[in-house]
Amino acid sequence: MITLLCAIDLYSKYIDRCFTHTAIYLFTGYYNSRNVKKFLNRLIECNIITLVGKRKFTLTDTGLSAIQEINESYDNVCYQFCNKYNISL
């Protein structure tokens, strides 16, 4: 689900703020359509995305905050990994 959330973030930033199930399905190319629909429904239940039209969704403030937290966590884990194995970037 985190992969899908990150894909939604990218899609929202670079293509269109609002998105459809089909657009995210085609954009990710990783999950089948049924899984994308299941994940989108779960993200709605968690108030991470919201329905803004008949078939369009958008990220909520909670969703944007979750994505920011994922990015910050990634930076921290990457830093720790590089330090542990003496990798310079």
Q: How many domains does the chain have?
A: 1
User: Over the range 32-48, which residues count as b (16 or more CB within 10 Å of their CB) and which as e?
Assistant: eeeebeebbeebeeeeb
For residue 15, what are the domain limits?
2-84
Q: Domain for residue 7, yes or no? A: yes
pTM of the model: 0.78
- CA–CA distance, 63 with 59 (Å, rounded to integer): 5
Chain centre to alpha carbon of residue 14 = 13
The answer on pLDDT for 57 being more than 90 is: yes
pLDDT confidence bin for 18, thresholds 50/70/90:
very high
Decide if 89 is inside a domain.
Answer: no
Residue 63, domain CATH: 1.10.10.10
Q: In the structure encoding, which two tokens stand for residue 87, read together?
A: 């990798």
3 pLDDT more than 90:
no
In a domain, 40, yes or no: yes
